[in-house]
Amino acid sequence: MCMVSINVDEAALRDMRPELDSTAAIRLWVQELIDLRMREMRAEEEETMSIEEARAITLKAIREEYARP
What is the model's pLDDT at position 27? 92
Look at residue 45 in the predicted model and tell me its pLDDT: 80
pLDDT at 18: 95
How far, in Å, are 14, 58, 60, 61 from residue 68 at the CA level?
Answer: 63, 18, 14, 13
Q: How far is CA 18 from CA 5, 29, 41, 45, 57, in A?
A: 22, 12, 29, 35, 49
| Contacts (Cβ under 8 Å, ≥6 apart) of 30 | 6, 8
pTM (global) more than 0.85:
no
Domain residue limits, the chain: 10-66
Q: What is the pLDDT along the chain (69 residues), one digit of tens a residue?
A: 889 999 999 999 999 999 999 999 999 999 999 999 999 998 888 777 888 988 999 999 988 888 766
